[in-house]
């Protein structure tokens, strides 16, 4: 069963003019948001985007824009309380880094 989250909230944007159809976004996307058709990438399932930022980071033509971050309520709460960016809370007591 495919998981579905809230609709029409994602910040993902594709600038087709810059796109060369190299397919890197298709390779790195974990949720099949993109499809290459007619030599260009197309967003075919924007509501499945989780804003991980992999596509934008790996687009060497700067054709993709997304406000990447962790979709983690706990991280957002901790971020709000400490005045930092929402950060995944899973390494709070990280002893490895001082």
Partner 1 sequence: MDESSKCDNQKECCCGSTTDNSQCCIDSSIEIIVSEESWVTGRVSTPIGEILQVSTKLTIYDKIGSWKARWGINRMNYKINPGLYCVENADKMSPILVTANYKLSFDMLRKELSGINAWILVLDTKGINVWCAAGKGTFGTYELVSRISMTNLSKVVDHKTVILPQLGAPGVSAHEVQKRSGFKVVFGPVRASDVKVFIGAGMKATSEMRKVKFNEYDRLVLTPIELVGTLKVSLMVFGVLFVLNLFSSNPFGTVDFYAYIGALLVGCVLVPILLPWIPGKAFAWKGWLMGMIWAAGVNALNGWPLNPEYSLVRALAYMLILPSISAFYAMNFTGASTYTSLSGVLKEMKTAVPAIIISAAIGGILLLMATFIPNI
Which chain residues interact with partner 1 by CB under 8 A?
1-7, 9-11, 24, 26-32, 48-54, 57-58, 60, 67-77, 86-91, 93-98
Give me the count of residues in the chain.
98
Smallest distance from the beta carbon of 23 to partner 1, in angstroms?
A: 11
Smaller CB separation from partner 1, 16 or 73? 73
Q: Of 15 and 27, which has the nearer Cβ to partner 1?
A: 27
**Closest to partner 1 by CB, 15 or 91:** 91
């Amino acid at each position: 069963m495919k998981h579905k989250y809230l609709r029409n909230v994602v910040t993902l944007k594709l600038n087709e003019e810059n796109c060369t159809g190299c397919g890197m976004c298709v390779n790195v996307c974990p949720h099949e948001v993109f499809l290459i058709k007619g030599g260009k990438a197309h967003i075919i399932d924007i509501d499945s985007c989780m804003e991980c930022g992999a596509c934008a980071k790996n687009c060497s033509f700067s054709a993709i824009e997304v406000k990447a971050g962790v979709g983690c309520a706990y991280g957002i709460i901790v971020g709000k309380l400490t005045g930092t960016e929402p950060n995944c809370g899973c390494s709070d007591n990280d002893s490895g880094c001082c």
